[in-house]
């Protein structure tokens, strides 16, 4: 028995919730933006993630994974471009951490907060958060394959209107993503209050996230279609 073409709905809900909670480039980038630039910029990054996820979901519905399997060369191009971009973001995060440590530490009060907002550590890698988050979301061909293999398990192929269960599954996944990213954004904004007074702590977080992005890039570069 299915719910508007969705089989085993609650199993999917539990699985989708667990998937969203797994750390990845999207969530880490949004957290980094919110920590450095505040809630508004954090949500700009989140909107980029939503747009990227929507495009990937549409590509999945249109059979993009099958195209990548049919044309391995296309997969290789997308894979290496994506890996290079993630590595580039990671490098800039590491460079921003070094720039933050070299900034003048003598500023006090509001001057220190202003310097924190305008220093190279907070502008070099976090400008245009919507566009950067969108690119980070899109340059991951493995996501298309994962979405396809995950979604098809819960769609009743005999249902007369297959777009209905697909929309239901997509809405559930996007709702979880929106809630999770919102928590990260407000958490990041809260952390920013402490980071404004602790330059080394802020640089340490930037270094950690930068290292993780380099790891994500290396992982994507070695990914396969199997």
Q: Label each residue of the chain as H, E or C.
A: CEECCEECHHHHHHHHHHHHHCCCHHHHHHHHHHHHHCHHHHHHHHHHHHHHHHHHHHHHHCCHHHHHHHCHHHHHHHHHHHHHHHHHHHHHHHHHHHHHHHCCCCCCHHHHHHHHHHCHHHHCCCCCHHHHHHHHHHCCHHHHHHHHHHHHHHECCCCCCCHHHHHHHHHHHHHHHHHHHHHHHHHHHHHHHHHCCCHHHHHHHHHHHHHHHHHHHHHHHCCCCC
Number of domains the chain contains = 1
Q: What is the pLDDT of residue 165?
A: 81
The torsion angles phi and psi of 6, rounded to 5 degrees, stand at: -100, 120
Residue 11: give the domain boundaries.
2-221
Q: For residue 46, what pLDDT is reported?
A: 94
The per-residue pLDDT for 116 is 46
CA angle, residues 138, 53, 75, in degrees to nearest 5: 35
Considering the domain boundaries, does residue 157 fall inside one? Answer: yes
Q: To 5 degrees, how large is the angle CA 69–CA 75–CA 79? A: 140
| Domain-embedded: residue 127 | yes
pLDDT digits (tens, 9 = 90+) for 18-34: 778 877 788 888 988 88
Whether residue 213 contacts residue 23, with contact meaning beta carbons closer than 8 Å, is answered with: no
In a domain, 32, yes or no: yes
Is residue 207 assigned to a domain? yes
Instruction: Note the pLDDT of residue 122.
Output: 47
- Residue 226 falls within a domain, yes or no? no
Structural domain contains residue 158: yes
Task: Measure the CA–CA gap between 123 and 121, rounded to whole angstroms.
Answer: 6
Q: Tell me, yes or no, whether 30 lies in a domain.
A: yes
Residue spans of the chain under pLDDT 70: 1, 64-66, 68, 100-126, 141-142, 144-149, 151-152, 157, 192-205, 225-226
Sorted by sequence, the CB contacts under 8 Å of residue 12 that are 6+ apart come out as 6, 153, 154, 169, 172
Which residue has 């566009």 as its token pair?
A: 131
Considering the domain boundaries, does residue 47 fall inside one? yes
Q: Taking the model in full, what pTM does it have?
A: 0.75
pLDDT at 104: 46
């Amino acid at each position: 028995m299915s719910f508007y073409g969705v089989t085993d709905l609650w199993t999917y809900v539990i699985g989708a919730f667990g998937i969203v909670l797994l750390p990845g480039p999207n969530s880490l980038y949004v957290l980094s933006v919110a920590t450095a630039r505040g809630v508004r910029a954090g949500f700009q990054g989140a909107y980029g993630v939503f747009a990227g996820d929507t495009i990937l979901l549409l590509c999945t519905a249109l059979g993009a994974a099958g195209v990548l399997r049919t044309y391995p060369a296309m997969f290789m191009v997308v894979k290496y471009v994506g890996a290079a971009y993630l590595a580039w973001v990671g490098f800039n995060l590491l460079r921003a951490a070094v720039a933050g440590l070299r900034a003048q530490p003598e500023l006090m009060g509001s001057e220190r907060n202003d310097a924190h907002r305008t220093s190279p550590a907070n502008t070099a890698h976090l400008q245009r958060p919507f566009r950067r988050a969108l690119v980070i979301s899109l340059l991951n061909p493995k996501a298309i394959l994962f979405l396809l293999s995950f979604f098809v398990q819960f769609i009743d192929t005999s249902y007369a209107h297959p777009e209905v269960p697909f929309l239901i599954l997509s809405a559930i996944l996007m709702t979880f993503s929106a809630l999770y990213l919102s928590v990260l954004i407000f958490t990041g904004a809260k952390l920013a209050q402490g980071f404004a007074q602790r330059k080394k702590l802020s640089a340490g977080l930037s270094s950690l996230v930068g290292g993780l992005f380099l790891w994500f890039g290396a992982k994507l570069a070695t990914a396969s279609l199997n």
